[in-house]
Amino acid sequence: MSMFFMVAGLFWIVDANAAAQVDCISPKLLKVSRVQGQVFDITGAAVPGVVVSLVQEGKSTAQFHTGSNGGFQFRAAPGLYLLKAEVLAFQRASVELKVGRDLWNSFHPSTLRVIVGLYGSFCPWATTSNREFQKIVRANNQRLKETKENNATQK
């Protein structure tokens, strides 16, 4: 399925009648030992062509375009960064990262899961927890289903 039809389909489902998501409290800071992950849409599908930037002290230090699986990876020295994920038709996701080495992260490196949002309806999100990612995707899919059913009964 092309990116255009996927985005157009999401906008059709999430129209002006959809209630805005009010619980848009994304994590302020995530701790990672390396900067790697994937970008997803609100349904959990990988999003290709996302511009992922790593910013430190207001200056972009690196930029990456995700491939077909939405994956990205950066080499980053320990420190504080802002990770941004931007793609046309989606709300930009951003999260602060504390990149550092510790014993836990050395044996269990984190993978970032970044969700780009839809303006006014679904918030962007970032996490290193697969369980939390699955929970957000299930909730988003349930909201999409309910919105679609509500729209069908209103017609």
**What tokens appear for 15 in the block?**
């129209």
The residue among 21 and 89 whose pLDDT is bigger is: 89
Hey, what CATH topology would domain 27-154 get?
Answer: Immunoglobulin-like (2.60.40)
- How high does pLDDT run on average in the chain? 81
pLDDT value, residue 26: 62
pLDDT of residue 107: 62
Domain boundaries, the chain: 27-154
145-154: list long-range contacts, CB under 8 Å, 24+ apart.
147/13, 147/14, 147/17, 147/18, 147/19, 148/13, 150/17, 151/13, 151/15, 151/17, 154/17
Q: In this structure, what DSSP letter does residue 60 have? A: E
82-136 pLDDT per residue, tens: 999 999 989 999 999 999 876 665 666 689 999 998 877 788 989 999 999 999 9
pLDDT band at 2 (very low <50, low <70, confident <90, very high): very low
pLDDT bucket at 9, cuts 50 / 70 / 90: very low
pLDDT tens, position by position, 25-80: 566 789 898 899 999 999 999 999 999 999 999 888 899 999 999 999 999 999 99
CA atoms within 13 A of residue 144's CA, in its CB half-sphere: 17
130/70 Cα distance (integer angstroms): 16
**pLDDT at res. 133:** 94
Backbone angles phi, psi at 44, to 5 degrees: 95, 10
Q: Calculate what percentage of the chain has a pLDDT beyond 70.
A: 77
